[in-house]
Structure formats: structure tokens, C-alpha cells
Amino acid sequence: MSSRNLVICDPETEYAARLAGFLNGKRELAFQVKICKSPDQIQEAAGQMPIDILLISEDLRELYDLQGEGEKAAKTVLLTSERGEGKDMDTIFKYQSGEQICMCLMQLLARGEKAELLRIRKKGNGRIIGFYSPVRRLGQTRMALRKGRELSRTENVLYLNMEVYAGTGSYFPEERQKNMSELLYYAKQESRKLAGVLAGLVKSLEGVDYVPPAVIPDDIRDVSPGEWIWLFEEILRTSIYDTLVLDIGDSVQGLYRILEACDEIYMSAADDPAASSKIRQFEEALEQAGCGHVAERVVRCDIRRTAPGKGTGQTGSVKRDRRR
């Protein structure tokens, strides 16, 4: 897949260089970023390559508009020094974090008439790793994040939290607007804009890319099994991510179908009678639902045996054929 060309034109060269460096470092985007100081340099660049996206300072817009000759950018966005909507052009407030600027840009492209300008790097078919246990309070989220960090050393990994109460403010900084709820909104519509929305939502925590968890419980509860599966497949198909790490809660619809979609399932466990009884009941329920084969993919992880100095304590088998 070829890259899209993005040009930043701003007289503040240090600012433009920092923004270009940030956008070049966004793994999920396929942008080649070039810096210009003046509209004349934009025209020179346009003579060498098509400019797909132009971010131009509001101070230079009038000069750029006066240039009647030469190719114009397919999409132009104004970098403004004050917040507010432009009357005739999309704008982004320039004095905010690179992460916020990137999110604003992705959202403008995803919802606008130039959604095709989003190009996402992609390789392979991907896999899904689920974390689920009927036994609670055994560190499932901690285990899932640890697995994500481990895999991120060699793969592009995205962590998704599917719990109604994910512990925002504890494991994750709280994000009340740009979070999993927005991603699920587009999943419900099976929107082709999902890849762009995802690129604008992804954050990083200790080396793991993740979408901030939903803060409204019903946003998780109301998603159908088919919508979840579509979301997973669409992310693996259109994004850079090779692996999804799912932190699955009890309140999701179609739990068994979601587990069936997983190539591997890690289950936090404990060897006390109450925990063993819950796991046994869960396995019996899988059998009754005709999903007994799912248990073959389960790796049990005794949280107390994985404490420092106590070994891994992992038992079970992993079966890698995904069954839809």
C-alpha cells in the first residue's frame, strides 16, 4: 500500500518540525510528511508529488488562495491559533498535543467527503487473544495488559477493554468523550469510517496501544454479538494491528460466540473450592451450549502461582484454528 502525502506549511519551522515528527511516528498511519515555510514551497512540492492533505497556518491562507496556478491539495485544513470552527474550511487548533491534533485530523477525514484519504498500513490476517474468567478479582486486566506489552515488542497489538466497569482512573486515564463508546457507535453502523475513527482514538500505555474504555455501562451491554465480531474483523482487516487482546467482561452479549472468535483464551484461576466450582460450572455451560470445543483453547493462569518466585503455573492447551 503506497503512502499518502501530507504537507505542513507553517512559518513557525520548529513547530512544524515537531508536528511532522509526531505524525511520522504514528504507526497506524501511512503518511509521508513534508514541511514547507511558504505557499511557494507548497507549489514546488506539488510539482513533485500529489499533495493529499495540507495543514496550513491561518497566517498563510490568503497567500495560498491567491496562487491560481498549480495543483491544489485534495484536502486542506487550517491550523489556527484560536479555537473555533472555520466558516468555509475545516480547522484544527494548533497549540494542543500532537495526539489531539492527530485525533482531530482523523475525525475530519473520517466524517468528511475525503474519507478515502485515510490509508492504514496493514499486513497479515491477524489473531485474537481473549482474557476471560468466571472468577473475578484475580487480576484479569493486569494479565491482559502484561500480555499486550509482551507481544508489542514484536507485533502491532491493540488492547480492547470489554468490561462495563473498566476501572478508568486506575488502570487507564479517564477519557469521558473519546473512548470505546465512539468506536462502538461506528461498529453498530458497520461504517467504512471505522478505520479513521480508530486511528484518532488509539492511545498508548506503557508500550501497549489501546482504546480508552467506555464509561457508560450500557454502551457495552447494548452491543450485539454480531456487532462485536464485525468490529474485531474490521480492525484486523483495515488497521495495522496484527493482534487484538480482548479483556472480556461478564456483561457482554454473546459471550460464547466472542470466545469462539478467539484463537487463544487466558483464564485467571485459583485452586480454592469456590473458584474451582465456578470454572467447572462455566465449562458445563459451554458444553450445554454446544461450545465445548472452546475449552480446548483455554490456558488457565493461577494468579497466586504466577507471583514472583512461584513459576508460571500455566496449564491447559491452546488451539489456534479460529472458528466463526
Please indicate, yes or no, if residue 323 is contained in any of the structural domains.
Answer: no
Of 99, 117, 135, the last residue of a domain is: 117
239 Cα distance to chain centroid: 8
Average pLDDT over residues 129-138: 89
What distance in Å separates the CA atoms of residue 270 and residue 214, rounded to the nearest whole number? 28
| CA dihedral (135, 140, 143, 148) positive or negative | positive
Which of 137, 146, 72, 122 lies closest to 314, judged by CA?
146
Of 82, 117, 152, the last residue of a domain is: 117
Q: What is the domain count for the chain?
A: 2
Domain with residue 245: its CATH number is: 3.40.50.300
Paired strand residues for 54: 7, 76
* Range among 79-83, 125-129, 219-223 with highest mean pLDDT value: 219-223
* pTM summary value: 0.65
Percent of the chain with pLDDT over 90: 35
Domain identity same for 202 and 275 = yes
Domain identity same for 253 and 281 = yes
Domain identity same for 79 and 155 = no
Q: State whether residue 270 is helix, strand or coil.
A: coil
Q: What is the mean pLDDT of the chain?
A: 82
Please indicate, yes or no, if residue 324 is contained in any of the structural domains.
Answer: no
Domain identity same for 185 and 312 = yes
Paired strand residues for 208: 205
- Structure confidence at residue 257 (pLDDT): 92
Domain identity same for 68 and 139 = no
Per the structure, the complete domain to which residue 240 belongs is given by 127-316
Does the structure show a pLDDT above 50 at 163?
yes
Domain identity same for 150 and 273 = yes
Please indicate, yes or no, if residue 103 is contained in any of the structural domains.
Answer: yes
Average pLDDT over residues 80-98: 82
**pLDDT tens by residue, 294-322:** 888 889 887 665 444 333 334 333 333 33
Of 84, 117, 150, the last residue of a domain is: 117
Range of weakest confidence among 82-86, 125-129, 257-261, 311-315: 311-315
Does the structure show a pLDDT above 80 at 20?
yes
Task: State the pairing for strand pair 203-205/157-162.
Answer: unpaired
Does the structure show a pLDDT above 90 at 124?
no
Please indicate, yes or no, if residue 184 is contained in any of the structural domains.
Answer: yes
Are the beta carbons of 76 and 42 closer than 8 angstroms?
no
Confidence of residue 5 (pLDDT cuts 50, 70, 90): confident
Please indicate, yes or no, if residue 252 is contained in any of the structural domains.
Answer: yes
- Structure confidence at residue 210 (pLDDT): 93
Domain with residue 103: its CATH number is: 3.40.50.10850
Helices and strands in the chain, H and E counts: 11, 13
Please indicate, yes or no, if residue 8 is contained in any of the structural domains.
Answer: yes
Does the structure show a pLDDT above 70 at 164?
yes
What distance in Å separates the CA atoms of residue 137 and residue 152, rounded to the nearest whole number? 25
**pLDDT tens by residue, 228-274:** 999 999 998 888 788 999 999 999 999 999 999 999 999 988 778 88
| CA dihedral (97, 98, 100, 101) positive or negative | positive
Domain identity same for 137 and 216 = yes
Please indicate, yes or no, if residue 32 is contained in any of the structural domains.
Answer: yes
Domain identity same for 90 and 156 = no
DSSP class per residue in 202-242: -EEETTEEEPPPPSSHHHHHT--HHHHHHHHHHHHHHSS-S
Domain identity same for 146 and 34 = no
Domain identity same for 102 and 139 = no
Are the beta carbons of 168 and 215 closer than 8 angstroms?
yes
Does the structure show a pLDDT above 80 at 73?
yes
Domain identity same for 255 and 165 = yes
Does the structure show a pLDDT above 70 at 289?
yes
4 vs 135 pLDDT, higher one: 135
Domain identity same for 137 and 263 = yes
Does the structure show a pLDDT above 70 at 114?
no
- Structure confidence at residue 122 (pLDDT): 53
C-alpha cell recorded at residue 251: 456483561
Beta strand spans in the chain (E): 4-9, 31-36, 53-57, 75-80, 91-93, 127-131, 157-162, 203-205, 208-210, 243-248, 264-269, 298-302, 314-316
Please indicate, yes or no, if residue 321 is contained in any of the structural domains.
Answer: no
**pLDDT tens by residue, 166-204:** 877 678 887 777 899 999 999 999 887 787 788 888 888
Are the beta carbons of 161 and 213 closer than 8 angstroms?
yes
